[in-house]
Amino acid sequence: MSGVQLEFAGGLQIQTVQEQAWPGVELDFLLHQVPPEEFAQTRAARDARFVNQDNGQLRMSYHSTVLRTAQGNVLIDTCIGNHKERPLIERWHRKEFPYLERMAELGLAPDDIDFVCCTHFHADHVGWNTRLDNGVWVPTFRNARYLFAEPELSYWQQVREDEPEHIFTRSYNDSILPVIEAGQAVVVAPDHEIVTGVQLRPAFGHSPGNVVIEVQSGDDRAVLSGDVMHHPVQIERPDWNSIYDQDRDKAQATRQKLLERIADGHTYLIGAHFAGPTALQVQESEGRFSYR
């Protein structure tokens, strides 16, 4: 298993746990309004780590990020999950992934997780919040506090009431509600500090209450960007929205501001769906962004 392995000052560690690679994504599945000829002009399009050079398909990933800190282990975004009913998306439907086994390879059992935080409540970011136990959904991480940003929680609670057949109402019911019923949910502000140096930041647009997580330890810094960017090409072209951005204008503005804030050449940008080297560093020159 490959993934991010970063060592920060003060002993803080950042590691990724991959649920599944996704090597064959058509451009119009994700960036449906982007002309292929424009995409071909980007650096990312010519980067074999992120785009299959034989057929032009995007390479992506589903993974979580673990922060090992002196105040506890923090798990960010819990992917799709096992045995979830997702009939509209075959890649998510009734799957069985060796996710917990891969976490064990890092020396972590579910009971070692102290905090769980989902950047937003789309189904591919909340799935391992729960596991199936004798036909009942129960929290996977029994010792953890699940931190739910209030704007995101409130929005999806309303969707659940208004649209019981919504695609993400199902994931709310099996991956969010059981955590609340178990008494493990903690509703927090979208700028909540999880532990010292690990801070939620509002990043609305992809979803109404979307957040990113900023990590600072000494001079070392990272931003876990969730789905503010789905693919590294959006570093070069922050004006390109994914089809899944719920508020396109707000998502674009959030992406632009995030890049401006981290374009210092040494802050790590860790995307929830970036393939290969999930952690990149961003630079800016003459108003344009690039990665390394």
Read off the CATH number of the domain in which 48 is found.
Answer: 3.60.15.10
pLDDT at 38: 97
pLDDT at 278: 86
pLDDT at 277: 74
Q: Are strands 193-195 and 198-202 parallel, antiparallel or unpaired?
A: antiparallel
pLDDT digit string (tens) for 39-72? 999 999 999 999 999 999 999 999 999 999 999 9
Q: Quickly state the pLDDT bin for 1 (edges 50, 70, 90).
A: very low
pLDDT digit string (tens) for 122-162? 999 999 999 999 999 999 999 999 999 999 999 999 999 99
How many domains does the chain fold into?
Answer: 1
pLDDT at 276: 83
pLDDT at residue 264 greater than cutoff 50: yes
Euclidean distance between CA atoms 290 and 42, whole angstroms: 10
- Within-domain flag for 29: yes
- Within-domain flag for 226: no
- Within-domain flag for 267: no
pLDDT at 27: 97
Tokens 């449906």 found at? 32
Tokens 């690039």 found at? 290
CB within 8 A of 283, min separation 6: which ones? 263, 265, 289, 290, 291, 292
Euclidean distance between CA atoms 45 and 48, whole angstroms: 8
**Average pLDDT value for the chain:** 96
Euclidean distance between CA atoms 13 and 75, whole angstroms: 12
Average pLDDT over residues 163-186: 96
Q: How many CA atoms lie within 13 A of 272 on its CB side?
A: 27
Average pLDDT over residues 162-170: 94
pLDDT at 3: 80
pLDDT at residue 35 greater than cutoff 60: yes
Distances 22 to 19, 132, 256, 260, 275 between C-alpha atoms, Å: 10, 24, 26, 29, 8
Euclidean distance between CA atoms 176 and 185, whole angstroms: 9
- Within-domain flag for 289: no
pLDDT at residue 13 greater than cutoff 60: yes
pLDDT at 2: 58
Residue of 228, 280, 233, 278 whose CA lies nearest to 257: 228
Euclidean distance between CA atoms 108 and 114, whole angstroms: 11
- Amino acid identity, residue 183? G
Please give the residue range of the domain that contains residue 110. 5-211
- Within-domain flag for 288: no
207 token code pair = 């979803």
pLDDT at 172: 98
Cβ atoms within 10 Å, residue 256:
13
